[in-house]
Amino acid sequence: INACVREGDVNTARKLFDDDPHSRNIVSWNSLMNGYVKRNEISKAQKLFDEMPLRDVVSWNTMLSGFRDIRSPDKSHRCFLTMMRYGPTPDELTFSILIGTFLSSQHKILIPQLHAIVIRLGISLNIYLGSALMRAYVALGHSESYIRVFDEIPVKDVAPYNVLILGHIEFGSISQAKKVFDEMPVRNPHSWSTIINGYMKNGMIKEAVEEFDRIEVRDVVSTTAMIRGFADVRRFAEALKIFRSMMNDGIRPNRFTLSTVLNACAGDSSLVMGIQVHGVMSKLGIPADVVTETALVDMYGKCGDMDSASKVFESMPDRNLASWNSMIGGYARNGSTHIAFQVFDEMSKSGTSPDEVTFINVLSACVHGGTVKQGEELFDSMKSKYGIRPEIEHFSCMVDLYGRAGELEKAEELVRNLPFEPDVVVWGALFFGACGLHSHPDSVRTAADGLSKRE
């Protein structure tokens, strides 16, 4: 049974399991359940788990892994509570799985309680559990706890050091991060990418380049970190230059590399390079996912090629909110107001709820199309229908919409009643409408005064 599961033949494993019920033992039960978990057939795994006459810690950990894989922290939590009451004593893997499950959900507030249980049970922090706890405390903003956990790990490899570097960076201590990086006994590609990202995040581009140049053998992780770093600080040409060097050096990009490079192409409006990257994906046989496909849609849209953006979008088997936003934003940016509204309607019918970015895109479409009434309806629906609080960007769109349509009194009234201080974009939109498109001296003075105060 175990051999069949290892080969991915769960159906044969199940037949062997059913044909000889007298030879079943806890190993065969666990093995078959693990096979279902690997195939993401969690309901079958749970049914088998419920039928088990005896469960050990492997059984519980396998079930917890299944709930983690389907991102169900509620089921994981209930399973763990049942384990604590009726099951065997949890081990290091149990808590590592739970921390990974809880970290990306509202259950992350329970992680310090899990740590307390680890201490109470006398479980030693191995590399995996210790690193998981450190990552959790960094994510929770506990600026001292992750260091304390690091000190409590008796035997350390590169993983805890990498998280320690990440923690120092997240809490603004780049000098401490550099000190740990220089003193760590062994480095791996993630060590280099973490310190490079830290420098880039803190605007220390020269230092990031120096570290990158120190790498004797570059790989996809460290090179992608450098590409992402330049892209994040909007130095797109340099990001694309590194990608070209990467390809010349024979380093195979992964999907994260490609989505990052496509974002740089979009930022640089480099359609030719974007098409080449799209070709690289096909040539290397790198399977697309929703992230890379969305990056393609966004790139084509920002480079003005909506036909190609539409082809990629229509071919996507799965779409997320970012995919819809990229399509709506592309049409809005390229002046296809009517089509942008059509895509927005399609998104609503698909059951995907809009977010703040969606409304920036559709309001921008209203600005380009001069559809004041539709803009007002969409703006009002943000809070009344979708519970989204308008931000400064949404108000800026409305001021721009009113200004371009010559409805400057509405624009001024909106600016006067803003729930926050108008920024230079809001005042600029009013000034452009009053001065650039329509002759309205009073509004010009109001906007000019606002701009001078912002300066």
DSSP readout, 98-155? HHHHHHTSGGGGGHHHHHHHHHHTT----HHHHHHHHHHHHHHT-TTHHHHHHHH-SS
Do 319 and 287 form a contact (C-beta atoms < 8 A)? no
Across the range 320-334, mean pLDDT stands at: 96
Do 141 and 108 form a contact (C-beta atoms < 8 A)? no
Instruction: Tell me the pLDDT tens digit for each residue of 123-167.
Output: 999 999 999 999 999 999 999 999 999 999 999 999 999 999 999
In the prediction, which pLDDT does 80 show?
Answer: 96
In the prediction, which pLDDT does 418 show?
Answer: 77
Q: Does the pLDDT value for residue 65 go beyond 80?
A: yes
pLDDT interval class at 429 (50, 70, 90):
low
Q: Where are the alpha helices (DSSP H) in 233-305?
A: 236-248, 255-267, 271-284, 290-302
Across the range 253-268, mean pLDDT stands at: 95
Q: Does the pLDDT value for residue 431 go beyond 80?
A: no
Across the range 291-296, mean pLDDT stands at: 96
Do 362 and 344 form a contact (C-beta atoms < 8 A)? yes
Closest CA to 80 of 95, 92, 70: 95
Instruction: Tell me the pLDDT tens digit for each residue of 188-221.
Output: 989 999 999 999 988 899 999 999 999 988 899 9
**Residue 256, CA distances (Å) to 113, 187, 220, 225, 232 in order:** 34, 22, 10, 10, 14
Closest CA to 255 of 235, 271, 278: 278
Q: Does the pLDDT value for residue 452 go beyond 50?
A: no
Question: For 223-254, b where at least 16 C-beta lie within 10 A, e where not — what string?
Answer: bbbbbbbbbeeebbebbbebbeebbeeebebe
In the prediction, which pLDDT does 428 show?
Answer: 53
Rg (CA), the chain: 27
In the prediction, which pLDDT does 438 show?
Answer: 46
Q: How many other CB atoms sit within 10 Å of the CB of residue 347?
A: 21
pLDDT interval class at 262 (50, 70, 90):
very high
Do 364 and 336 form a contact (C-beta atoms < 8 A)? no
In the prediction, which pLDDT does 443 show?
Answer: 43
Q: Does the pLDDT value for residue 369 go beyond 60?
A: yes
Instruction: Tell me the pLDDT tens digit for each residue of 16-53.
Output: 777 877 778 898 889 989 999 998 899 999 999 999 99
Across the range 174-198, mean pLDDT stands at: 93
Q: Does the pLDDT value for residue 437 go beyond 80?
A: no
> What is d(CA 34, CA 74) in angstroms, rounded to the nearest whole number?
20
pLDDT interval class at 416 (50, 70, 90):
confident
Residue 78 CA to its chain's centroid (Å): 27
In the prediction, which pLDDT does 432 show?
Answer: 52
In the prediction, which pLDDT does 427 show?
Answer: 52
In the prediction, which pLDDT does 434 show?
Answer: 45
Q: Does the pLDDT value for residue 87 go beyond 60?
A: yes
115-119, 300-304, 319-323, 437-441: range with lowest mean pLDDT: 437-441
Higher pLDDT, 274 or 425: 274
